[in-house]
Structure 1
Amino acid sequence: MRPSHLLLAVLVAAVWGVNFTVIEIGLDHFPPLLFSALRFLVAALPAVFLVGRPKVAWKWIVAVGLVLGVAKFGLVFVGMDTGMPAGLSSLVLQIQAVFTAVIAAAVLGERPTGVKVLGMVVALAGIGVAALDEGASGPLGAFVLVVGAAAAWGLSNVLTRKASPPDALNFMVWVSTVPVLPLLALSLATEGPSQDLAALRGLDWQGAGTILFVAWVSTVFGFGAWGWLLHRHPASTVAPFSLLVPVFGMSSAALFLGESVTPLRWCAAALLVGGVALTTLTPARRGRDRLPDAVAARPEPVGRPPARAEEPVR
């Protein structure tokens, strides 16, 4: 990999890690479900008019949009809004690699190797340590919501694999159109019209900046750059850079939000990242139906040519 490509891969990981800190700041300005809806609205417009027609069946766009956009991101934003720290969220979401492997085994017939199973056990141990740490210092319910988001992410990875979109950016933009109305409806039903209107009327530069960052920088730039790298390098070369996301996530949260990183959290990070590496960077037994390794290794999924790996979305 050229030095410029290597720097780009690190930059994308840094953007996706810092994104959790930006989300935390944005949640001071918007109710979580409204914030998530605005994120997808801005990511989809005006890009949807520039990328051409969808290149996969609508059933896959709708399915991934609901599972990834509504379930995964809805749970993440609500979990963080109810007390889940930004840095810990960036770490815990990596358990999606385990959910991806388990769902792929059930749906795609992928049989995990012994090394992958070991990786799942190590990653689950990391989640256990993280839960112990969060239970001692914060709301365990918020932790469970983020774990649920990781499960939804794993399911969306498998759905994306089944869709096999030939154009990652096209797929991501069209997927972004799906969650907007469901998230707005959920926001109106649970957060209330008055709270939503108050947030929109009080929109300032900082609030607008967080929306633009999570929509254009994290989603459009991050997704596009990652897909560009995957078209030029093997997935096994690009995927390991995603393991830097929790490093940037925890570091930026500590630097900008003053979040503390306890010894237990460092232990959880070591176990989870190590387990994810074992789970995602070793080959599966079945070549034809196996889920591309990089899809589980990266943070935020969505499609790409079948020969490579599905890109994440953040």
Structure 2
Amino acid sequence: MRPSHLALAVLVAAVWGVNFTVIEVGLDHFPPLLFSALRFLAAALPAVFFVGRPKVAWKWIVAVGLVLGVAKFGLVFVGMDAGMPAGLSSLVLQIQAVFTAVIAWAALGERPSAVGTVGMLVALAGIGVAAVDEGTSGPLGAFALVVAAAAAWGVSNVLTRKASPPDALNFMVWVSTVPVLPLVGLSLLTEGASRDLAALGALDWQGAGTVLFVAWVSTVFGFGAWGWLLKRHPASRVAPFSLLVPVFGMSSAALFLGEPVTPLRWCAAALLVGGVALTSITPRNRDRSRVRAEGGAPAPAEVGRRTPVPAEEFGR
């Protein structure tokens, strides 16, 4: 990768990591479900008028929109509002890689390798360490909500893999149109119209800025840049940069929110990131077997181009 491309990959990981700190700030201005609805509304409009028609069937857009937008992000925002720290949230959500592997095995028959299985066990150990750390300083209920969000993310990853969207930005913008009304309805039912109206009536520049950041910078710019990189480089070279997300998430939360990073949390981070890295490894002999089954190696001009977006990258 060129230095400028490396810098862009790191920048996207930094944006996705800092996004958790911005969400924490936004939750001081909005109820969590309303905030999530506003995030998707701002991500969809006006971008939906510029990205072109959907490039996958509507059933996949609706399914991913409900599971990723309503379930995953609803649980994350509610969990963080209930006391889950921003930095720890950015870390714990990485367990989605384990959920994705398990669900893909059950639903798609994609059996994990021995190395991948070891990686899942290491990542689960990291979650256990993080739970112990959180149990000494915060509500375990909020921790459980974020773990449930990671499970929902795993389901949406498998759905995305089935959809195989050729354009990450186009897909994410259309997916963003789906959760808005369900999230608004859930907010009215659980958070109350009076609370929602009060938050909107008290809207200031900081509150509006958090919505625009999570919608335009994290979603539109993040997925646009990530998709641009994936069209120019193999996914195996681009995807590992996502492991930097919790590093930036925990660092920005410590810097801007004063969140403590305990030794146990660093241990959990090492186990989780290392486990997810192992889970993501594809054995070379599997690649060679697939090439032989397909009748030869791919043409050089096609290597690194039009690469399907890794499902694990949706939903940052």
Question: Paired residues, what number?
Answer: 299
> 1:81/1:69 Cα in 2 relative to 1: closer, same or farther (>3 Å)?
same
Residue 167 of structure 2: aligned partner: 167
Report the TM-score, using the length of structure 1 for normalisation: 0.93
* Structure 2 residue 194 is matched with structure 1 residue 207: no
Query: Do 2:164 and 2:308's aligned partners in 1 also have CA atoms closer than 8 Å?
Result: no
Structure 2 segments unaligned to the other structure (5+ residues): 291-304
Residue 281 of structure 1: aligned partner: 281
User: Does the residue aligned with 1:137 lie in a helix, a strand or coil?
Assistant: coil
Query: Do 1:33 and 1:78's aligned partners in 2 also have CA atoms closer than 8 Å?
Result: yes
> 1:248/1:307 Cα in 2 relative to 1: closer, same or farther (>3 Å)?
closer
Instruction: Tell me how large the CA RMSD over aligned residues is.
Output: 1.5
Larger Rg: 2
1:281 offset after TM fit, Å? Answer: 2.6
Structure 1, residues 202-234: CA drift from partner, whole Å, max 9, x if none? 000000000000000000000110111011111
Residue 310 of structure 2: aligned partner: 309
Provide runs of 4+ in structure 1 moved above 4 Å.
284-288, 304-308
Superposition map of 1:224-243 within 5 A:
224-243=224-243
Structure 1 segments unaligned to the other structure (5+ residues): 289-303
% identity of equivalent residues: 86
> 1:308/1:206 Cα in 2 relative to 1: closer, same or farther (>3 Å)?
closer
Structure 1 residues 178-187 or 49-58, which shifts more?
A: 49-58
Structure 1, residues 268-288: CA drift from partner, whole Å, max 9, x if none? 000000000000133495877
Report the TM-score, using the length of structure 2 for normalisation: 0.92
- Distance in 1, Cα, partners of 2:279 & 2:64: 23
Residue 45 of structure 2: aligned partner: 45
1:305 offset after TM fit, Å? Answer: 5.4
- Distance in 2, Cα, partners of 1:305 & 1:67: 26
Query: Do 2:166 and 2:308's aligned partners in 1 also have CA atoms closer than 8 Å?
Result: no
For 1:20, give the aligned amino acid. Answer: F
- Distance in 1, Cα, partners of 2:78 & 2:308: 35
Structure 1, residues 137-175: CA drift from partner, whole Å, max 9, x if none? 100000000000000001101100101112221111110
- Distance in 2, Cα, partners of 1:24 & 1:178: 24
Residue 252 of structure 1: aligned partner: 252
Query: Do 2:165 and 2:309's aligned partners in 1 also have CA atoms closer than 8 Å?
Result: no
User: Does the residue aligned with 2:154 lie in a helix, a strand or coil?
Assistant: helix
For 1:58, give the aligned amino acid. Answer: W
Superposition map of 1:110-125 within 5 A:
110-125=110-125
Residue 270 of structure 2: aligned partner: 270
Structure 1, residues 14-51: CA drift from partner, whole Å, max 9, x if none? 00000000000000000000000000000000111111
Superposition map of 1:1-314 within 5 A:
1-283=1-283, 307=308, 309-310=310-311, 311-314=313-316
Query: Do 1:165 and 1:305's aligned partners in 2 also have CA atoms closer than 8 Å?
Result: no
- Distance in 2, Cα, partners of 1:225 & 1:40: 18
Query: Do 2:83 and 2:138's aligned partners in 1 also have CA atoms closer than 8 Å?
Result: yes
Residue 291 of structure 1: aligned partner: none
